[in-house]
Amino acid sequence: MLRVCVWVLAALAALPAESSSVEQAAAGDSTVIAAYVFPQNGMLQAGQIDPTRITRINYAFAAIQDGRIALPLDTDKANLAFLTSLKQKNPSLTVLLSVGGWSGSAGFSDSARTAQSRKILIDSAIGILKVYDLDGLDLDWEYPGLPGAGNPFRKEDKRNFTLLLKELRARFTQLTGVTNRRLYLTIAAGASDEYIDHTEMAQVQRYVDAVNLMTYDYYEAGSDALTGHHAPLFADPADPKKESADVSVRAFQAAGVPAKKIILGVPFYGRMWQQVPNINHGLFQPGKPIPNSYAPYSTIQQTMLGHGFTRFWDERSRAPWLYNQEKQIFVSYEDPESLAAKCSYLLNAKLGGIMFWSYFNDSSGELLSAIDKGLGRTK
């Protein structure tokens, strides 16, 4: 049976100073460990998720239908009820509804376009939060002002994105004043200068609790003719693109986002290329797309490590890769050693925490254990 929170509706006075409440609340938070849970058409089952090892769940994905946020799958309602029930084991766990994603962002530009369309979207969001007893929203608009996966977009998205978040924050603050329950507002952000150029991050950060920075997919076989690290911590001088998590973090800070609001994204999956020549063990070499080039870490563990693939380590990037000389396949991925480096980095940089896509890509729990250890939660 769905847990229904009793929400009291009331009209309150105008929102106080725009940035103070969010920034003060965020300053007192401990390190965030945010897991994207993406069951697709599956029904979540007892024992699949350990709520004691994470602090936040972003349930992916809600959709935008006819200008309103909606749950598109028959399993969504039961899955949300399951996730909120995990608070019995971890009362400090927060469960957010993630809206959009790469293939689900088509409705954002239209919905953010006017004050009335934004109100319709926000009203629907508030309704879902109430019914399913959720702790807030994670907006994954990919991307404002850009086509993403062929979505409608317009230059006004830049300002409208800010207004949407500002108006969401105002409604959240109103409800918190009535219920005394904090509601979280986060975004998933593309880790590129192009994303920064099409948003107003100095303004956006005033209204959000966290920016989930997608510091991965810097290289993908479908769009990059050369192999490379898809989630390097630092840029290797030999890397033609010179991109990395560190470069992106610094760019977002320069754009006005405080370190404490940046959540460092890590991938629990790898990217693969084929027909890669055995030069430099395949790194920064020409390659071709390979069918099913997305490799969950569990697949890498079970079918690649110790099965014809040799692991190599880039000390400069603090990133591993695999190369199969016989099959000429290159794999860029995340592993416990690279996660240890990233945890140390985020602690030293005083970032807000770490997030990963996605929980079910690590069936053994090895990567989550590496995060636990890297953040000092276990020995």
Kindly list the structural domains of the chain, giving each domain's residue range(s) and its CATH number in brackets, ordered by start: 20-266+334-374 (3.20.20.80)
pLDDT, average across residues 15-42: 66
pLDDT-derived band at 379, boundaries 50, 70, 90: low
235: left (phi over 0), alpha (psi -120 to 50) or beta: beta
Note if the bond before 345 is cis, omega within 30 degrees. Answer: no
**pLDDT of 95-124, one tens digit each?**
999 999 999 999 999 999 999 999 999 999
Average of per-residue pLDDT values in the chain = 93
Please tell me the predicted confidence (pLDDT) of residue 5.
38
The dihedral sign for the CA sequence 170, 171, 176, 178: positive
Q: Distance between CA 251 and CA 72 in Å, rounded? A: 35
User: Among residues of the chain, what percentage have pLDDT more than 90?
Assistant: 91
pLDDT, average across residues 358-372: 98
Strands 262-267 and 136-140: unpaired
Predicted TM-score of the model (pTM) = 0.92
Residue 137: strand pairing partners: 97, 185
User: Among residues of the chain, what percentage have pLDDT more than 70?
Assistant: 92
pLDDT-derived band at 13, boundaries 50, 70, 90: very low
**pLDDT of 113-172, one tens digit each?**
999 999 999 999 999 999 999 999 999 999 999 999 999 999 999 999 999 999 999 999
251: nearest Cα among 201, 187, 186 = 201
**198 Cα distance to chain centroid:** 19
Please tell me the predicted confidence (pLDDT) of residue 7.
38
145: nearest Cα among 134, 132, 159 = 159
Please tell me the predicted confidence (pLDDT) of residue 58.
99
Tokens encoding 222 = 């479908």
Q: Distance between CA 155 and CA 146 in Å, rounded? A: 8
pLDDT, average across residues 40-61: 97
Half-sphere exposure of 271 (CA within 13 A, CB side): 24
222's CB contacts (< 8 A; 6+ apart) are 289, 293
Q: At what angle do helices 366-374 and 336-348 cross, to 10 degrees?
A: 30
pLDDT-derived band at 378, boundaries 50, 70, 90: confident
- DSSP-derived letter for residue 169 is H
Asked whether the predicted pLDDT for residue 213 surpasses 80, the reply is yes
Asked whether the predicted pLDDT for residue 356 surpasses 90, the reply is yes
Please tell me the predicted confidence (pLDDT) of residue 367.
98
Active site residue 142: yes
pLDDT, average across residues 60-87: 98
Asked whether the predicted pLDDT for residue 14 surpasses 90, the reply is no
Furthest-apart CA pair in the chain: how many Å? 69
> Beta-strand (E) ranges in the chain?
32-37, 56-65, 68-70, 94-100, 136-140, 184-190, 210-214, 262-267, 269-273, 294-296, 310-314, 319-324, 329-332, 353-357
**pLDDT of 255-298, one tens digit each?**
999 999 999 999 999 999 999 999 999 999 999 999 989 999 99
Q: Distance between CA 50 and CA 369 in Å, rounded? A: 11
Task: Pick the catalytic residue from 23, 142, 194, 220.
Answer: 142
